[in-house]
Amino acid sequence: MVEPQFSEEFHCNDWLNIHDTQSVDLVFADGSLNMLDQDKHLQFVTQIHRMLRPGGWALMRVHPAETPQFSSAGEIFEWHRQYNSHEAVFSSTRTHLDMLWMDRRTLKIRFVEYHQRLNQLYHQQVITETEFQAYNTLLKYNRIELIYTTRKLFETMIAGFFGIKSSYVGGDYCLSRLHPIYLLQRKDAP
């Protein structure tokens, strides 16, 4: 879809150490902000702004925190089995577990601890072997620390750098509203 065809270039960078300035038209950042500590979020946004040409676009999926809908992991898995069993257990339950287990002070999820909790739930027979194995399959890819933010914090932080052209919810998690994809256009001066 790029015109002229095959004219696009792909650049892979360390988000916090980008040397290219005003060199790209589009940045994709799928959950990238949430891989950084909150004290680096502004630096991240500044770097994206710097690397985009005037009027350039950023497509960012962000993970904002909300109040948990369930009071226990057992309730989450019961809900999954009763109402959402057609979905993969990870996609169906993961965000609910995030909201329940997140450190409310730091808005962090440490997935090594997450899997330790799942192991306890399995041994307590709160989750089934199939559910436990589905999570364990992902464990080798899921050894991260995820730092949530809030919509208000995120939108306030980007206001001087980007205009929000749209915010789309939908995707691969049951609570897709908690994983909005922002289409942002670079403002000329922060």
Considering the domain boundaries, does residue 100 fall inside one? Answer: yes
For residue 60, the enclosing domain spans 24-64+149-186
- Tell me what the mean pLDDT of segment 21-42 comes to: 86
Question: Encoding tokens for residue 130?
Answer: 């199939």
Q: Is 95 exposed, middle or buried (0-12, 13-18, 19+ CB in 10 A)?
A: buried
User: What are the CA-CA distances from residue 44 to residues 76, 142, 149, 169 (Å)?
Assistant: 34, 22, 14, 22
Q: What is the mean pLDDT of the chain?
A: 86
Would the pLDDT of 1 be above 80? no
Considering only CA atoms, which of 190, 119, 120 is closest in space to residue 158? 190
Q: Which stretch of 15-19, 92-96, 156-160, 183-187 has the lowest confidence by average pLDDT?
A: 15-19
pLDDT of residue 172: 56
Considering the domain boundaries, does residue 129 fall inside one? Answer: yes
Would the pLDDT of 29 be above 80? yes
Considering the domain boundaries, does residue 42 fall inside one? Answer: yes
pTM: 0.80
Considering the domain boundaries, does residue 11 fall inside one? Answer: no
Residues 77 and 141 in one domain: yes
Tally of domains in the chain: 2
- Tell me what the mean pLDDT of segment 70-86 comes to: 94
- Tell me what the mean pLDDT of segment 98-123 comes to: 93
Would the pLDDT of 83 be above 80? yes
pLDDT of residue 132: 93
Considering the domain boundaries, does residue 5 fall inside one? Answer: no
pLDDT of residue 122: 97
Would the pLDDT of 99 be above 80? yes
Which backbone phi and psi does 71 adopt, to 5 degrees? -100, -10
For residues 138 and 161, what is the distance between their CA atoms, to the nearest angstrom? 36
Would the pLDDT of 52 be above 60? yes
**H helices of 4-128, where?**
41-51, 73-83, 89-101, 111-123
For residues 108 and 48, what is the distance between their CA atoms, to the nearest angstrom? 23
- Tens-place pLDDT, residues 127-158: 999 999 998 887 777 777 889 999 999 999 99
Residue 170 sits in a domain whose CATH number is: 3.40.50.150
pLDDT of residue 171: 60
pLDDT of residue 85: 85
Percentage of the chain exceeding pLDDT 70: 84
